[in-house]
Amino acid sequence: MRILFCGDVVGRAGRRAIQDRLPALRRTLDVDIVIVNGENAAGGYGITAAICDEIFGAGADAITTGNHVWDQREIVAHFDVERRLLRPHNYPPGTPGSGAALIRGRDDRDVLVLHVMGRLYMDALDDPFAAVERELAACRLGETASAIVLDVHAEASSEKMALAHFVDGRVSLVVGTHTHVPTADAQILPGGTAYQTDAGMCGDYDSVIGMNKDMSVERFVRKMPTGRLEPAQGEATLCAVLVETDDRTGLARRIEPVRVGGRLAEQMPARATAAV
């Protein structure tokens, strides 16, 4: 099975990259399922129902979020009707929505998409390790699900790495989101789980993590409020991770970063030859 995970979509530029690039990427890479982190898609702050439809229409099968999940108030009710939209699973019981869903991929194979948020330098949510452990006890790789993808939305790379080693051999892919910078540590852990600390973002890299660079720099220089930060609007780089799993075990056989468009150096899997 081939899984494509796209990093945080930031503003209109990131949405354009998804609309323009994802359909061709899905064909070129022969992808079975696509997961997109959309938590910054609505002007940099959260996501709306209309933007969810836009991302699904471009070829996504599931959308994860993060610490900006509730920024657009209208989205709260949408979690009750759109099971493919996930909020972090370690929110307290009774929070709308869920952070885990079995998503039907190509050839009718089910993929468990699991999404948690870290606690280091983030909101004090429930224990993400315990939340993941409960879900993996109920849904086992190679039995209930053909593959399992865990999106760890966290600030600290140490927390992301620790979670990856915690689930090594029980999950197909652990990928970090939130910091918006693609890391150079794509690897397969000893137990067979693919891992990358951060997928990067789908956004304009002539920016400060996707936001207008002049406003962001002014905040650091003057140490005074500058008003609401706005996303940069130049050409975006679509940053993603491609994972190929073993059909028998569900564990990873291959992981490769994907980068197309914008300012960052392009990176495509060696066997992908068609233009995107």
If one counts the domains in the chain, the total is 1
This prediction's pTM: 0.95
At 163-216, the pLDDT tens digits run 999 999 999 999 999 999 999 999 999 999 999 999 999 999 999 999 999 999
The answer to whether residue 270 is domain-embedded is no
| Residue 61 structural domain | 2-260
The answer to whether residue 214 is domain-embedded is yes
Whole-number Å distance between alpha carbons of 166 and 142: 18
The CATH number of residue 95's host domain is: 3.60.21.10
At 99-133, the pLDDT tens digits run 999 999 888 899 999 999 999 999 999 999 999 99
> What are the Cα distances from residue 31, in Å, to 5, 24, 25?
10, 10, 8
Q: Looking at 68, 89, 115, 180, which residue is catalytic?
A: 68
To the query of whether residue 68 is one of the catalytic residues in this protein, the response is yes
The answer to whether residue 271 is domain-embedded is no
Whole-number Å distance between alpha carbons of 117 and 154: 6
Is 70 in a helix, a strand, or coil?
Answer: coil
